[in-house]
Structure 1
Amino acid sequence: MMPQSANVIWLDEAGRTDVPRVGGKNASLGEMINTLGAKGISVPMGFATTSAAYWWFLQANDLESAIRVAIGHYVDGNVSLAETGRAVRSLVLKASWPDELAMEIASFYRTLCENSGKEDVAVRSSATAEDLPDASFAGQQETYLNVRGERELLAACKRCFASLFTDRAISYRQVKGFDHMKVALSIGVQPMVRADRGGSGVMFSIDTETGFNKVAVINAAWGLGENVVQGAVDPDEYVVFKPLLSDVALSPIIEKRLGGKEIKMIYQEGEAKTRNVPTSKIERSSFVLDDEDILTLGRWAVVIEEHYGCPMDIEWAKDGDTGGLFVVQARPETVQVGRDLSVLKSYEIRSRGAVLAKGLSIGDSVITGRVCLIESPEQIEDFVDGSILVTGTTDPDWVPIMKRAIGIITDHGGRTSHAAIVSRELGLPAIVGSHDATQRLHSEQEITLSCAEGDEGFIYEGAAEYDVKEVSLRNLPETETQILLNLANPSAAFRWWQIPADGVGLARMEFVISNHIKVHPMALVEFDRVQDDDTRRKIESLTSGYGDKTEYFVDKLSRGLARLAAVVHPKPVIVRMSDFKTNEYAGLLGGETFEPEEENPMIGFRGASRYYSPSYRAGFALECRAIERLRNTLGFDNVVVMIPFCRSVAEADRVLSVMAENGLERGVDDLRVYVMCEIPSNVILAKDFASRFDGFSIGSNDLTQLTLGIDRDSDLLSDLFDEQDEAVKWMISNVIQEAHLAGAKVGLCGQAPSDHPEFAGFLVDQGIDTISVTPDSFLAVKREVAAAERAHSESAA
Structure 2
Amino acid sequence: MARPSLVEPFADLSAADTALVGGKNAALGELIANLTPHGIRVPDGFATTTAAYRELLDTGDLRARIGRRIEALHEGAGLAETGAAIRGMILATELPPRLVDAVTTAYTALGERLGRTDPDVAVRSSATAEDLPEASFAGQQESFLNITGARALLDACLRCYASLFTDRAINYREHHGFDHLRVALSVGVQQMVRADRAGAGVMFSLDTDSGFPRVVLVNAAWGLGESVVSGAVDPDEYLVFKPLVDEAGANPVIAKETGGKQSKVVSRTTGAEPTVSVPTTEDERAGLVLTDSEIRQLARWAVRVERHYDTPMDMEWAKDGDTGELHLVQARPETVQTRRRPSTLRSYRLTGTGHAAPLVTGLAIGEAIAAGTACVLRSAAEIDRFVDGAVLVTGTTDPDWEPVMKRAAALVTDHGGRTSHAAIVSRELGLGAVVGTGDATGRIPDGRAITVSCAEGERGVVYPGTLDFEEREIELTDIPTTRTRLMLTMADPGAALRWWRLPADGVGLARMEFVINNHIRVHPMALVHPERTDAGTRERIAALTRGYRDRTEFFVDRLAYGIARIAAAWWPAPVVVRTSDFKTNEYARLLGGAPFEPAEQNPMLGWRGASRYHDDGYREGFALECRALRRVRDEMGLTNTVVMIPFCRTLTEADRVLETLADHGLRRGANGLAVYVMVEIPANVLLADDFARRFDGFSIGSNDLTQLTLGVDRDSERLAGLFDERDPAVVRSIRTVIEAAHRHGREVGLCGQRPSDDPEFARLLVDAGIDSVSVAPDSFLRVKNTIAAGERRAPEGDPDAADPVARPR
TM range (shorter): over 0.9
Equivalences for residues 718-757 of structure 1 within 5 A: 718-757=720-759
Query: Does the Cα contact within 8 Å between 2:132 and 2:178 map onto a contact in 1?
Result: no
- Matched residues in 2 for 1:371 and 1:794: separation? 62
Q: Secondary structure in 1 aligned to 2:694? A: coil
Separation in structure 1 between the aligned mates of residue 201 and residue 40 of structure 2, nearest angstrom = 16
Give the Cα–Cα distance (whole angstroms) in 2 for the partners of residues 131 and 492 of structure 1: 39
Could you tell me how far apart the structure 2 residues matched to 1:640 and 1:663 are?
A: 14
Amino acid at match of 1:375: R
1:337-367 deviations in Å (ceiling 9; x for gaps): 1112222221111233331111111111111
The DSSP-based 3-state class of the residue aligned with 1:346 is: strand
- 1:180 is aligned to 180
1:401-452 C-alpha deviation (Å, 9 max, x unpaired):
2222221111111111111111111221111111111111232111111111
Which residue number in structure 2 is paired with residue 246 of structure 1? 246
State the alpha-carbon separation in 2 of the partners of residues 603 and 549 from structure 1. 31
Unaligned runs of 5+ in 2: 800-809
Provide Cα deviations, 1:628-680, integer angstroms capped at 9, x if missing partner.
Answer: 11101111100111111111111111110111000000011111011101111
Q: What SS does structure 2 have at the residue aligned with 1:513?
A: helix
> 1:685–1:132: structure 2 CA closer, same or farther, 3 Å change rule?
farther
Residue pair 2:487, 2:508 contacting (<8 A) in 1 also? yes
Counterpart residue number, 2:110 = 112
Q: Hey, what's the Cα distance between the residues in 1 that align with 2:80 and 2:247?
A: 53
Alignment: residue pair count: 793
Q: Which amino acid aligns with 1:466?
A: F
Q: CA deviation at 1:223?
A: 0.4
Which residue is 1:328 aligned to?
329
Counterpart code for 1:72: E
**What amino acid does structure 2 have at the position aligned with 1:525?**
V
Structure 2 residue aligned with 1:370 = 373
Cα gap change, 1:130 to 1:157, in 2 (>3 Å): farther
Question: In the alignment, what sits opposite 2:585?
Answer: 583
Contact residue 130 and residue 136 of structure 1 kept, 8 A: no
CA distance, structure 1, for counterparts of residue 383 and residue 579 of structure 2: 54
Q: Distance between the aligned counterparts of 2:596 and 2:663, measured in 1?
A: 23
Alpha-carbon shift at residue 526 of structure 1 (Å): 1.3
Paired residue for 2:77?
79
Question: In 2, Cα distance between the equivalents of 1:667 and 1:763?
Answer: 29
Task: Work out which of the residue numbers 548, 551, 556 in structure 1 matches 2:558.
Answer: 556
Counterpart among 690, 693, 696 of residue 695 in structure 2? 693
Change (3 A) 1:63 1:793: farther
- Is 1:491 matched with 2:490? no
Q: Distance in 2 between matches of 1:385 and 1:748?
A: 48
Give the residue type in structure 1 aligned to 2:613: Y
AA of the residue aligned to 1:67? I
Change over 3 Å in CA distance of 1:688–1:54 after alignment to 2: same
Return the offset for 1:134: 8.2
Aligned counterparts, 1:767-786, within 5 A: 767-786=769-788
C-alpha separation in 2, matches of 1:387 and 1:77? 30
Aligned equivalents of 2:220, 2:546: Cα separation in 1: 20
1:192 has 2:195 as partner: no
Q: Distance in 1 between matches of 2:113 and 2:332?
A: 27
Q: Counterparts of 2:709 and 2:553 in 1: how far apart (Å)?
A: 40
Counterpart Cα distance in 2 of 1:751 and 1:36: 51
Write the distance in 2 (CA, Å) between the matches of 1:683 and 1:84: 80
Matched, 1:565 2:564: no
* Partner in structure 1 of residue 20 of structure 2: 21
Over residues 97-122 of structure 1, what are the superposed CA-to-partner deviations in whole Å (9 max), with x where a residue is unaligned?
22122111101101111111342111
Show the 5 A alignment for 1:495-506.
Answer: 495-506=498-509
- d(CA) in 2 for partners of 1:59 and 1:133? 24
2-side partners of 1:131 and 1:606: how far apart? 65
Matched, 1:467 2:466: no
1:188-238 C-alpha deviation (Å, 9 max, x unpaired)? 111110000010011111111111111111111100111111111111111
Q: Which residue in 1 is equivalent to 2:204?
A: 204
Aligned residue runs from structure 1 range 273-672, under 5 A: 273-349=274-350, 350-351=352-353, 352-530=355-533, 532-672=534-674
**Alignment-derived partner of residue 153 in structure 2:** 153
Secondary structure at the aligned position of 1:126 is classed as strand
1:178 Cα deviation after fit: 2.4
Identity over the aligned pairs, expressed in percent?
A: 58
Under a length normalisation based on structure 1, what TM-score does the superposition of the two structures give? Answer: 0.97
The one-letter code matched in structure 2 to 1:105 is V
Matched AA of 2:40:
I
Q: Which residue of 1 aligns with 2:805?
A: none
CA positional deviation for 1:533: 2.1
Question: Which residue identity lines up with residue 257 of structure 2 in the other structure?
Answer: R
- In structure 1, the partner of 2:65 is 66
Which one is further off, 468-477 or 200-209?
A: 468-477
Paired with 1:287 and 1:593, the residues of 2 have a C-alpha distance of 33
SS in 2 for 1:792: coil
| Between 608-617 and 135-144, the greater mean CA deviation after superposition | 135-144
CA contact (8 A) 1:24 1:131 kept: no
Offset at residue 37 of structure 1 (A): 0.8
SS in 2 for 1:664: coil
CA contact 1:227–1:265 (8 Å) conserved in 2:
yes
Q: Is the 8 A contact 2:134 2:140 kept in 1?
A: no
CA contact (8 A) 2:127 2:133 kept: no
Q: Say if 2:125 and 2:142, in contact at 8 Å, map to a contact too.
A: yes
TM-superposed CA distance for 1:788, in Å, is 1.0
Alpha-carbon shift at residue 179 of structure 1 (Å): 2.2
Counterpart amino acid of 1:576? Answer: R
Question: Residues 130 and 137 of structure 1 are in contact (CA less than 8 Å); yes or no, is this contact kept in structure 2?
Answer: no
* Conservation of the 8 A alpha-carbon contact between 1:483 and 1:770: yes
Instruction: Rate the CA distance shift 1:182–1:5 in 2: closer, same or farther, 3 A.
Output: closer
Describe the shift of the 1:134–1:689 C-alpha distance in structure 2 as closer, same or farther (beyond 3 A).
Answer: farther
Question: 1:6: which partner in 2?
Answer: 5
CA deviation after TM superposition for structure 1 residue 567, in Å? 1.2
Q: Spell out, residue by residue over 1:690-732, the C-alpha distance to the aligned partner (whole angstroms, 9 max, x if none).
A: 0000111111111101100011111111111111111100000
**What secondary structure, in the 3-state scheme, does the structure 2 residue paired with 1:523 have?**
helix
Q: Which letter does structure 1 place at the counterpart of 2:52?
A: A
Q: Is the 8 A contact 2:238 2:256 kept in 1?
A: yes
How far apart are 1:565 and its partner, in Å?
0.8
Aligned-partner SS, 2:209: coil
Quick one: which amino acid aligns to residue 166 of structure 2? T
Structure 1 gap ranges (5+) = none
2:144 counterpart SS class = strand
- Corresponding residue number in structure 2 for 1:760: 762
Matched residues in 2 for 1:649 and 1:239: separation? 41
1-side partners of 2:281 and 2:3: how far apart?
A: 48
Segment drifting more, 771-780 vs 76-85: 76-85
Tell me, in whole angstroms, the C-alpha distance in 2 between the residues paired with 1:133 and 1:621: 54
3-state SS of 1:359 partner: strand
Letter in 1 for 2:201: G
Deviates more, 1:727-736 or 1:297-306: 297-306
- Letter of the structure 2 residue corresponding to residue 92 of structure 1: I
- RMSD after superposition: 1.6
Task: Give the direction of change, closer, same or farther, for the CA distance of 1:657–1:375 in structure 2 (3 Å limit).
Answer: same
Inter-partner Cα distance in structure 2 for 1:67 and 1:137: 24
Q: 2:806: which partner in 1?
A: none
The residue type equivalent to 1:780 in the other structure is R
